[in-house]
Amino acid sequence: MLVRRRRRILVAGKGIKREFREGPLAFARVEARGLTKRYGDREALRGVSFGADAGEQVAIIGPNGAGKTTLLSILAGILRPDEGEVALGGGAVGWVPQQAALYRRLTVEENLLLFARLERHPDPHASCREMLELTGLGERRGEIVARLSGGNQQRINIAIGLLARPAVLLLDEPSVGLDPRQRARLWEFVSGLAGGGTTVIFSTHDIQEAERYGGRLLVLADGEALFDGPAEELREAVRREAPEAADRDFETAFVAFLHHRGH
């Protein structure tokens, strides 16, 4: 079913209540067509199209100002596209913003309970317990969030995004500020969700991370989609278009590829 994104966002803005669905996560395909977003004279996105199947992990990569956050915000329903449409195959969309979106003066448990109640969970305490178990923060449930490390705050941030039992999970640079061990735990957790059928779309600056955890890569630069495909195909494209950097590490080769494309 193809739904105009503009319409969906308007509906969300009018405060139509979400119906919480119990039971296993729903599976959904996401499809974006010709998304364009302008901030004044600047085009943040220029006709971007891509799709992601249920259980797929798509990494959006690109330099600063490429349009990664704008694209995710449109998919999440926070921003309206000026042109184009987004189709969702049903189910909720979980949103994990780049900066932890939670109340730092509340405890871990109070944050999870609040959002579970706002999501209209039939048993918010049970959902809260489930998320505490999932994030491994059960023993720190009573701690004020402001006193937790950035990594632990990010775990709660993701847990809140999962409270809606989303069919599609959108993560904006989720590993920023995490140490290697926390990163590993995060990706293990996210990969587990994808393995269970959740469509995961995340943005990152880390090319190695994108290559390792993104089943598919979407390369954005200056609001334009330059590449959409598996990491191996991107390596092939890099070798083809920037042969002088083909033998260098993937990040250097990727920068050369962007340069070759005029970015």
Partner 1 sequence: MRWLLLKDVQILRRSPLQSALLVLYPVLIAVLVGFAISRGPEKPRVAFLNEVPQNSRIFVGGQKLPQANVQGRICKKVECVPVHSKAEAEDKVSSGEVLAALVLPEDLINKINSLSTLTPGTPEVEVIVNEEDPVKAGLVNDRITALMAQANLAIARRIANEGSHYLKLVIEGGKLPVLGSTIHILGLQASARILAALEPALPPGPLRSSLAQVTEFADQAGENLDIAGPLIDRLAEPIKVDKVVVGGSSPPLEVFAIAVAATFTLAFVTVLLVAGSLALEREENAFSRLVRGLVSETELLGEKVLLGVAVGLVVTLLMLAGLQIFVPLEWNRIGLWLAAIVVGGAALAAAGAALGALAREVRAVSLLAFMVTLPIAFLSLIPSGAIGADLYSVIKVIAALFPFKPALEALTGALDSSGPSIGGPLLHLAILLVAYLAIARLALRRFAAV
For partner 1, the binding residues in 112-131 under the rule CB under 8 A are 114-115, 117-119
On whether the CB atoms of residues 171 and 191 are closer than 8 A, the answer is no
The region of 46-54, 94-102, 215-223, 236-244 touching partner 1 under the rule CB under 8 A is: 94-102
Beta strands per DSSP E along the chain? 30-39, 42-52, 57-61, 83-88, 93-96, 168-172, 199-204, 216-221, 224-229
Separation of alpha carbons 191 and 95, rounded Å: 16
Residue among 2, 14, 22, 24 that touches partner 1 (CB under 8 A): 14
149 sits near partner 1 (criterion: CB under 8 A): no
Residue among 3, 26, 78, 176 that touches partner 1 (CB under 8 A): 78
On whether the CB atoms of residues 80 and 99 are closer than 8 A, the answer is no
Q: Which two tokens stand for residue 246?
A: 């083909």
Separation of alpha carbons 252 and 245, rounded Å: 7
Residue among 62, 77, 91, 166 that touches partner 1 (CB under 8 A): 77
DSSP letter for 107, please: B
66 sits near partner 1 (criterion: CB under 8 A): no
What type of residue sits at position 118?
L
Between 62 and 124, name the residue whose CB sits nearer to partner 1: 124
Between 96 and 217, name the residue whose CB sits nearer to partner 1: 96
16 sits near partner 1 (criterion: CB under 8 A): yes
- Assign residue 148 a region (left: φ > 0; alpha: ψ between -120 and 50; beta: otherwise): beta
Between 104 and 212, name the residue whose CB sits nearer to partner 1: 104
The region of 15-23, 178-186, 230-238, 244-252 touching partner 1 under the rule CB under 8 A is: 15-23
